[in-house]
Structure 1
Amino acid sequence: MPDLPLIMWALIAGVFGLLIGSFLNVVILRLPVRLDALWQQEAREVLGVDTPVEPLPPGIVRERSHCPHCKHPLAAYDNIPLFSWLLLGGRCRYCRAPISIQYPLVEALTAVLSAIVVWKFGPTWAALAGLFFTWALVALSGIDFRTQLLPDQITQPLLWAGLALSLCHLFVEPNAAILGAAIGYLSLWSVYWLFKLLTGKEGMGFGDFKLLAALGAWMGPVSLLPVILLSSLVGALIGGTMIVLRKHAREVPMPFGPFIALAGWIWFVAGDYLWHAYMSFSGIR
């Protein structure tokens, strides 16, 4: 690889992250709709329901991007990550309908997180794996925030990638990855059933179990308690703020996946610093 300063590698990762963020927007918006249509199609086939075959919603790769309001296909210069949204003033060039703030936020967030990962690991295989880890978490967070769904199409490859990478001893050893995946899944699974037995309600979805299992596969069992604590803290702060500002009713369920993903990413890139800070603060040697 070229002998570039670390800051240059981080900047390159940030620019590339903008492009990936644009693609992740497509995944966040189209994958749940596509999956829902496929599930309905399969259900009709299993039940033997004879209904007209409707065309499936746009896929992730082949169909061109278009305005969700006027359906006009977007030109290449309308799809420049972040900058097109700014230049257009957040409105469609063709119908002047507002463009969701989600687009630039996901692109900017993916760029920043990608740059941080490369700054942390340098131009290494660990950084490449860390970028995949980061992009998967961004996609899962966006989907869960919008639909309260954590699709197996992303959580399962993330889990298996963590287990496979442990064979290369990239982040954790294989035994730690296996234990992390098992404990991560079973811990939230146990909480789910305990809560359901006590209240008769479902406190979280099965996708949360799989996401924490994937984090355990990537970072081992020792990461799980800090991740759960961090996600609970962030969830309580954000949820409490939304309730206080009356933007979210108390009875309306709030997705927990984005908080697990955020806590997992923080521990992935800064867990060692946080642990040393805690040890110094507590006076433990």
Structure 2
Amino acid sequence: MEVFEIWPAALFLACGVLGLVVGSLLNVIAFRVPIMMELAWRRQCKEIDEHPFTPPPHAEGSTFNLWWPPSACPSCGERITARHNIPVLSFLWLKGRCTHCGTAVSMRYPFVEAFAAIAGLVVAWVFGPSWQTVAALAFTWMLVALALIDIDHKLLPDSLTLPLMWGGLLLALISVDGVPLFTSLRDSVFGAAAGYLILWTVYHAFKLVTGREGMGYGDFKLLAALGAWLGWQLLPLVIMLSAVAGSVVGIALIAFGRRSRRSAIPFGPYLAAAGWIALLWGTELMDLYSQLVR
């Protein structure tokens, strides 16, 4: 940390470069975790075989996880060499196409890589050379992975939400010079419990009134994880920001004919965005709100 205090530019450079690299890994997580889960379900439940599922070519081997096989083209299964797997630059160099089959590569890959880098820079700018930056970077990139998976599959995997929650609880045990990194252990535990119970209550109340499910259990766990990181005091801000953003986007999609009133819209990305904003600027936003309502 002393090096970054002496040369602040080094912190931004390190976080930016690390963000590019992690952004590439986030694309792998968002793409592979749902496939890994689907493959596990298929092995455990033979009756699901009546529903068609076609994994990408490189997922058909006996081992498919985050580390193996190496990155490959989802269309033809050809392995992507190291020089063709440089974040953002390789996409530009190859003009967004697979070198083997010529299939266009989704713009999402370089976008996520660049976004992860920019988010890393913002975290470094807010927290500076501190252990908060290290923790906040992990928090940020985990939320990005969860948001991507929820957008694609309307799914928030336990394999990501639960470690995020336990990480927040364990982090609350750590303090620097007697000051917690983000929140105290007491507030973290209450935040995790309150986060889960708030959405659990909303879910059952909505189901009781309408007979339909309004959200998934993954949303409960994600808000519990956010509560563990932020403490219970910032949960109202997270709920308000995510609800407003979700409502605006949902109404816009319905108005433009992209969704019907009964279409399921993933809530995880809005929770993730609200949680990230609350971690970085939550206290300031709450203080501003208090001043406005006086």
Q: TM-score, normalised by structure 1?
A: 0.92
Aligned residue for 1:58?
Answer: 64
Native 8 Å contact 2:63 2:69 kept in 1: no
Aligned residue for 1:98?
Answer: 104
1:131 pairs with 137, 155, 159, which one? 137
SS of the aligned residue for 2:264 comes to: coil
- Judging changes above 3 Å, is the alpha-carbon distance between structure 1 residues 35 and 176 closer, same or farther for their aligned structure 2 residues? same
Q: Could you report, residue by residue, the CA deviation over 1:188-214 in whole angstroms, capped at 9, with x for unpaired residues? A: 000000111111111000000000000
Aligned residue for 2:169?
Answer: 163
Native 8 Å contact 1:34 1:57 kept in 2: no
AA at the equivalent of 1:245? F
Quick one: distance in 2 between partners of 1:59 and 1:166? 31
Aligned residue for 1:12?
Answer: 14
1:44, CA displacement in angstroms?
4.2
1:176 pairs with 149, 166, 187, which one? 187
Quick one: distance in 2 between partners of 1:6 and 1:277? 29
Native 8 Å contact 1:69 1:97 kept in 2: yes
RMSD: 1.7
1:70 pairs with 76, 99, 103, which one? 76
SS of the aligned residue for 2:34 comes to: helix
Quick one: distance in 2 between partners of 1:55 and 1:250? 41
AA at the equivalent of 1:230? L
Q: Could you report, residue by residue, the CA deviation over 1:257-281 in whole angstroms, capped at 9, with x for unpaired residues? A: 0100000001111112222332333
SS of the aligned residue for 1:195 comes to: helix
1:59, CA displacement in angstroms?
1.4
Native 8 Å contact 2:87 2:110 kept in 1: yes
1:63, CA displacement in angstroms?
1.2
Aligned residue for 2:37?
Answer: 35
Quick one: distance in 1 between partners of 2:211 and 2:98? 46
SS of the aligned residue for 1:81 comes to: coil
Native 8 Å contact 1:25 1:106 kept in 2: yes
Q: Could you report, residue by residue, the CA deviation over 1:109-133 in whole angstroms, capped at 9, with x for unpaired residues? A: 1111111111111121111111111
- Percent identity, aligned pairs only, is 44
Q: TM-score, normalised by structure 2?
A: 0.89
AA at the equivalent of 2:45? A
1:269 pairs with 267, 280, 291, which one? 280
AA at the equivalent of 1:121? F
Quick one: distance in 2 between partners of 1:15 and 1:241? 35
Aligned residue for 1:258?
Answer: 269
Q: Could you report, residue by residue, the CA deviation over 1:72-126 in whole angstroms, capped at 9, with x for unpaired residues? A: 1111121110111122222212222111121011111111111111111112111
Aligned residues: 275
Aligned residue for 2:177?
Answer: none
Determine if the alignment matches structure 1 residue 195 to structure 2 residue 206.
yes
Aligned residue for 1:116?
Answer: 122
- Judging changes above 3 Å, is the alpha-carbon distance between structure 1 residues 246 and 205 closer, same or farther for their aligned structure 2 residues? same
> Where does the alignment leave 5 or more consecutive residues of structure 2 unmatched?
48-59, 175-179
SS of the aligned residue for 1:60 comes to: coil
Aligned residue for 1:50?
Answer: none
1:56, CA displacement in angstroms?
4.7
AA at the equivalent of 1:231? S
